């Protein structure tokens, strides 16, 4: 049996929990992708997946059915979410497109690698004394593809993207909002200390299709996850988007 304090905490959470996401299906991508260079090496980035997993937990606790498409991370999936593990941007794209139609809210937290090696050698690349050049091709931009698809089909699904920036955070968020046809872009300054990649905390600005810009103060990613979902639900009302 768990400790009484744990039981009390859990009971309190269940009793006070909102169920404002009942009936929603939330598709979330999280973590980095890995793009192989050869059978033993890959290109990736420092994404820990913490923000995406926090959103998955928050959405699930608020009553949503959660589909979590995750790159390789060191995290346990939150209870009750459906986890799909992927490695590459191509695999992430395929998983997202397969589950898109059944989703009412799509949140793209993943730090997708922007480039990959088109023809991965079958054997390990040997070390030589010579300089080695890599020829890289762009990966599919999943968010842009989803945004175009939602617009084309006029499905009313709510689309939320993320933007990790090192300068002009709000201007970049607004540019991405338009370029990728999102309803909201959650932007954070990854050059700041103690927030962003790998950290348990973050400080983000929300740029919304309505023109509203909402800075959320520095907080734990799990706390921000609930605030982002609060804004998403309000935004959907403002945009008259349907479930």
- The residues assigned a catalytic role are 45
Determine contact, residues 229/62, Cβ cutoff 8 Å.
yes
Residue 187 CB neighbour total at 10 angstroms? 26
CA angle 14, 16, 19 (to 5 degrees): 80
Measured from the CB atom, the residue of 51 and 81 that comes closer to ligand C5P is 51
Among 27, 67, 86, 163, binds ligand C5P (CB under 6 A): 163
Contact status: 142 vs ligand C5P (CB under 6 A): yes
State the minimum distance, in angstroms, from the CB of residue 135 to ligand C5P: 18
75 token code pair: 């995290």
Smallest distance, ligand C5P to C-beta of residue 162, A:
4
Within the chain, where are the H helices? 4-16, 50-61, 89-99, 142-153, 169-179, 221-239
> What is the C-alpha separation between 23 and 145, in angstroms, rounded?
25
Distance CA 183, CA 123 (A): 44
Q: Judged by CB, which is closer to ligand C5P: 63, or 141?
A: 141
Q: Which is nearer to ligand C5P, 1 or 118 (CB)?
A: 118
110 binds ligand C5P (CB under 6 A): yes
Is 42 near ligand C5P (CB under 6 A)?
no
* Angle between helix 142-153 and 89-99 (nearest 10): 20
Contact region with ligand C5P (CB under 6 A), list: 39-47, 65-73, 77-85, 107-115: 107-115
* Residue 151, Cβ density class (10 Å: 0-12 exposed, 13-18 middle, ≥19 buried): exposed
Reduced to 3 states (helix: H, G, I; strand: E, B; else coil), residue 208 is strand
108 makes contact with ligand C5P (CB under 6 A):
yes
Window 9-38: residues binding ligand C5P (CB under 6 A): 29
Q: For residues 117 and 125, which CB has a smaller minimum distance to ligand C5P in the complex? A: 117
Shortest Cβ distance from residue 163 to ligand C5P (Å)? 5
Residue numbers at the binding site for ligand C5P (CB under 6 A): 29, 89, 108, 110, 112, 114, 139-143, 161-163, 176
């Amino acid at each position: 049996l768990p400790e009484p304090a744990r039981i009390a905490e859990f009971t309190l959470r269940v009793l006070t929990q909102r169920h404002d996401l009942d009936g929603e299906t939330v598709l979330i991508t999280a973590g980095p992708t890995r793009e192989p260079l050869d059978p033993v090496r890959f290109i990736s980035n420092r994404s820990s997946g913490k923000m995406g997993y926090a959103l998955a937990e928050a959405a699930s606790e608020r009553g949503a059915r959660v589909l979590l498409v995750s790159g390789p991370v060191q995290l346990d999936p939150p209870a009750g979410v459906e986890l799909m593990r992927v490695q590459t941007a191509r695999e992430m794209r395929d998983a997202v497109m397969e589950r898109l139609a059944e989703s009412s809210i799509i949140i793209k937290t993943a730090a997708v690698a922007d480039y990959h090696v088109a023809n991965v050698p079958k054997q390990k690349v040997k070390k030589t004394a010579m300089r080695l050049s890599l020829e890289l091709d762009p990966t599919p931009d999943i968010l842009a593809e989803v945004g175009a698809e939602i617009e084309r089909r006029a499905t009313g699904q709510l689309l939320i993207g993320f933007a990790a920036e090192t300068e002009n955070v709000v201007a970049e968020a607004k540019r991405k909002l338009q370029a990728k046809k999102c309803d909201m872009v959650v932007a954070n300054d990854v050059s700041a200390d103690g927030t962003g990649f790998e950290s348990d905390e973050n400080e983000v600005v929300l740029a919304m299709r309505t023109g509203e810009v909402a800075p959320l103060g520095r907080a734990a990613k799990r706390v921000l996850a609930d605030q982002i979902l609060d804004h998403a639900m309000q935004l959907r009302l403002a945009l008259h988007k349907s479930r």
